[in-house]
C-alpha cells in the first residue's frame, strides 16, 4: 500500500480560497491518490468547507485554527519592522494614511526611518529574516505537524497578511519540510511589507510580479515560477447565462442597458454616494441616455452600509455577492461559489460599461472585452489622503497600468459624462490596448493556472 504524502495548506481569506479551492488546483491534487491535503481555516468556516468538499474526505481534511495574533513584545516589534522594511511609494502611502488616522507621529517617524534607512538593503532584509525565524516561536501548529508529518507546506499568501501562513512556513523551515508559497494579489509585493519567510519555491502570476519578487522579496529567479492568475481560469471558455436569466437575478428591468459600478466603502463611502447621485441625476435629466441603469456590486469583503439615498430608485440597483463569514467590525471574510463567479462574469459581459476605482475589475473587464472607466478625481474639496481617490492612482502597482491604458480615465465629473458617452458610442475604441493590459497583468489566459499551481506543489512533494 502506498504511503500517503501530506500537504499543509492554510486558507484564511476568500482570495486564498478563490485561488486553491475554487479552481482546478485542489481537484488536480486530489486526482493523485497518494496525496492528502490538510487545510487549516477559521473556525467559522469549518463546517462550510467540510460540507462543500465532503466528497474528497478523508484525503481532504479541514482543521480549525483561529487567526493568530502576535503574543509577545518581540513578535509585535518584528511585525512592525516587517511592515515597513521596504522603501516603496505604496508603503509610504500606507504609513501616511495610518498617521492621519491615528495621529501617532512618533510611530510614523519610526516607520519612515525603517523604510528609508534599512528598506533598500538586501543584506539587512536577510538578517531580519534570520532573526524573525529564530525569535518568532508560535507553537500553535506543532501538534498538527507531529500528527500528520507533512511532506510540504503550501501558503497562498506569502506575505502572511494573516499571520497563520507565516507561522506554518516558519515551522516547516525549522523542521526541514519543503515550502511552496504564492503571492496572493497584484499589489502585495509593493505594499504589504517585506516577505518574512522565503519559500523554497515562490509562485507568481505574471512576469511583472516575478521581477518584483526578485527585487523586493530577494528571491532567486530559479526559485520563482510564473503560473498565471488562477482566479481568472473560469474566464477561459466562459459562456454567458441567458440574458433574461441574468437580468432577473440582478433585479434589473429587461431592456435597460446598465453601467456596472464597482464601488469603494469605508473611508471612501461619501465619494461612492456622491458619484452614484451624480450618475442618477444625469440619467434622469437626459444628459446621459434615459435607458441606462447603474448596477452597484458590493465588494465581497465589506459590510454593506445601507444607502437609503437610493431606496426606490429606478436607476440605481444593488447586488451583494458571495457568502459572508464574521471577520472584523467593518469587513467580512467571504466565499464565492460557481454561481457567484458566473454572475460576476455575466455582469461584466452584459454591462455597457464598467466603472470602478482602478480595481481588479478593470483587468477582468479587459479580459471579457468590455469598456472600462476609472474614476480619478475628488468628490470633495481638499480631500485628505485617507479619502483621496486621486492618490489611489499613484500606487506602484497602478502606475504601469496607467501607462498601458486600455480604459478611460475620468479626472472630473465632466470627464465622466464625456467618457460614458464615448464608451457607449465606441465600445471597442480601447480594444488594442486592452490586449496589452491582459498580456502584462494576466499573462497566459488558458484556463490552466490552477493546474500549474497544483503541479508546482506536487513537484515539491515528490522532488528529493
Over residues 206-233, mean pLDDT: 97
Given a cut of 60, whether residue 330 has pLDDT beyond it is: no
Over residues 386-393, mean pLDDT: 94
- The closest alpha carbon to 22, from 248, 391, 339, belongs to 339
Q: What is the DSSP string of 64-129?
A: E-PPP---SHHHHHHHHHHHH----HHHHHHHHHHHHHH--HHHHHHHHHIIIIITT-HHHHHHHH
Given a cut of 80, whether residue 328 has pLDDT beyond it is: no
What percent of the chain stands above pLDDT 70? 97
Q: What is the pLDDT of residues 103-119, one digit of tens each?
A: 999 999 999 999 999 99
Tell me what pLDDT residue 1 has. Answer: 45
Given a cut of 70, whether residue 358 has pLDDT beyond it is: yes
Q: What is the pLDDT of residues 405-432, one digit of tens each?
A: 999 999 999 999 999 999 999 999 999 9
Q: What is the pLDDT of residues 257-287, one digit of tens each?
A: 999 999 988 889 899 999 999 999 999 999 9
Higher-confidence position of 307 and 437: 437
Name the CATH topology of 5-68+138-230+447-462. Rossmann fold (3.40.50)
What percent of the chain stands above pLDDT 90? 89
Is-contact 162 333, C-beta < 8 A?
no
Query: Which three cell numbers, joined as nine digits, stand for 365?
Result: 473587464
Is-contact 210 227, C-beta < 8 A?
no
Residue 295: pLDDT band with limits 50, 70, 90:
very high
Given a cut of 60, whether residue 127 has pLDDT beyond it is: yes
**Helical ranges in 264-318 per DSSP H:** 269-285
Cβ-based neighbours of 429, under 8 Å, separated by 6 or more: 371, 422, 423
Under DSSP, the state recorded for 291 is: T
Range with the poorest average pLDDT among 262-271, 328-337, 428-437: 328-337
Given a cut of 50, whether residue 434 has pLDDT beyond it is: yes
Q: At what angle do helices 73-84 and 105-113 cross, to 10 degrees?
A: 60
E-strand ranges in 207-250 read: 224-226
- Dihedral angle, C-alpha 116, 119, 122, 125, nearest 10 °: 140
Q: What is the pLDDT of residues 73-97, one digit of tens each?
A: 999 999 999 999 999 999 999 999 9
Over residues 292-321, mean pLDDT: 87
Q: What is the pLDDT of residues 150-162, one digit of tens each?
A: 999 999 999 988 8
Sheet holding 5-10, edge to edge: 60-64, 35-41, 5-10, 152-155, 178-182, 201-204, 224-226
Given a cut of 80, whether residue 2 has pLDDT beyond it is: no
Given a cut of 80, whether residue 398 has pLDDT beyond it is: yes
Q: What is the pLDDT of residues 168-218, one digit of tens each?
A: 999 999 999 999 999 999 999 999 999 999 999 999 999 999 999 999 999
- The closest alpha carbon to 322, from 346, 308, 342, 350, belongs to 342
* Calpha distance 273→457 (Å, rounded): 45
Architecture of domain 237-441: 3-Layer(aba) Sandwich (3.40)
pLDDT averaged over the chain? 94
Give the pairing of strands 323-326 and 332-335.
antiparallel
* Calpha distance 29→8 (Å, rounded): 12
| Neighbour tally for 50: CB within 10 Å | 16
Amino acid at each position: 500500500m502506498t504511503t500517503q504524502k501530506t500537504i499543509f495548506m492554510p486558507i484564511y481569506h476568500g482570495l486564498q480560497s478563490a485561488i486553491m479551492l475554487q479552481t482546478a488546483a485542489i481537484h488536480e491534487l486530489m486526482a493523485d491518490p497518494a496525496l492528502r491535503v490538510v487545510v487549516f481555516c477559521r473556525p467559522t468556516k469549518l463546517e462550510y468547507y467540510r460540507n462543500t468538499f465532503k466528497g474528497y474526505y478523508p484525503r481532504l481534511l479541514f482543521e480549525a485554527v483561529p487567526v493568530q495574533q502576535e503574543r509577545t513584545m518581540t513578535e509585535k516589534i518584528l511585525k512592525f519592522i516587517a511592515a515597513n522594511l521596504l522603501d516603496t511609494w505604496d508603503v509610504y502611502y500606507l504609513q501616511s494614511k495610518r498617521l492621519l488616522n491615528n495621529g501617532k507621529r512618533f510611530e510614523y517617524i519610526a516607520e519612515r526611518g525603517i523604510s528609508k534607512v534599512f528598506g533598500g538593503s538586501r543584506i539587512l532584509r536577510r538578517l531580519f529574516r534570520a532573526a524573525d525565524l529564530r525569535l518568532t516561536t508560535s507553537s500553535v501548529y506543532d501538534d498538527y505537524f507531529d500528527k500528520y508529518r507533512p511532506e510540504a507546506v503550501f501558503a497562498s499568501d506569502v506575505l502572511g497578511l494573516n499571520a497563520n501562513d507565516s507561522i506554518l512556513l516558519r515551522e516547516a523551515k525549522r523542521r526541514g519540510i519543503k515550502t511552496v508559497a504564492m503571492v496572493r494579489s497584484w499589489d502585495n509585493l509593493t505594499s504589504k511589507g517585506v516577505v518574512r519567510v522565503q519559500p523554497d519555491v515562490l509562485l507568481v502570476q505574471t512576469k511583472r510580479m516575478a521581477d518584483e519578487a526578485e527585487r523586493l522579496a530577494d528571491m532567486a529567479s530559479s526559485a520563482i515560477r510564473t503560473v498565471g492568475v488562477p482566479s481568472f481560469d473560469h474566464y477561459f471558455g466562459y459562456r454567458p447565462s441567458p440574458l433574461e436569466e441574468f437580468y432577473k437575478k440582478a433585479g434589473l428591468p429587461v431592456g435597460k442597458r446598465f453601467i456596472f459600478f464597482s464601488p469603494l466603502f469605508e473611508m471612501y463611502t461619501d465619494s461612492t454616494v456622491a458619484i452614484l447621485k451624480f450618475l442618477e441625476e444625469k440619467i434622469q435629466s437626459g444628459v446621459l441616455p434615459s435607458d441606462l441603469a447603474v448596477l452597484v456590486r458590493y465588494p465581497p469583503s465589506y459590510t454593506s452600509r445601507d444607502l437609503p439615498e437610493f431606496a426606490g430608485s429606478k436607476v440605481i440597483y444593488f447586488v451583494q455577492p458571495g457568502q459572508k463569514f464574521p471577520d472584523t467590525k467593518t469587513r467580512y471574510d467571504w466565499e464565492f461559489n460557481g454561481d457567484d463567479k458566473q454572475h460576476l462574469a455575466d455582469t461584466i459581459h452584459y454591462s455597457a460599461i464598467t466603472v470602478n476605482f482602478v480595481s481588479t475589475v478593470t483587468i477582468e473587464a479587459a479580459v471579457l472585452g468590455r469598456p472600462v472607466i476609472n474614476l480619478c478625481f475628488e468628490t470633495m474639496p481638499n480631500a485628505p489622503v485617507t479619502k483621496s481617490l486621486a492618490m489611489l492612482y499613484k500606487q506602484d502597482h497602478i502606475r504601469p497600468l496607467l501607462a498601458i491604458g486600455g480604459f478611460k480615465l475620468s479626472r472630473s465629473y465632466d470627464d465622466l459624462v464625456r467618457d460614458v458617452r464615448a464608451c457607449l458610442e465606441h465600445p471597442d475604441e480601447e480594444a488594442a490596448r486592452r490586449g496589452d493590459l491582459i498580456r502584462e497583468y494576466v499573462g497566459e489566459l488558458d484556463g490552466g493556472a490552477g493546474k500549474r499551481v497544483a503541479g508546482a506543489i506536487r513537484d515539491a512533494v515528490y522532488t528529493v
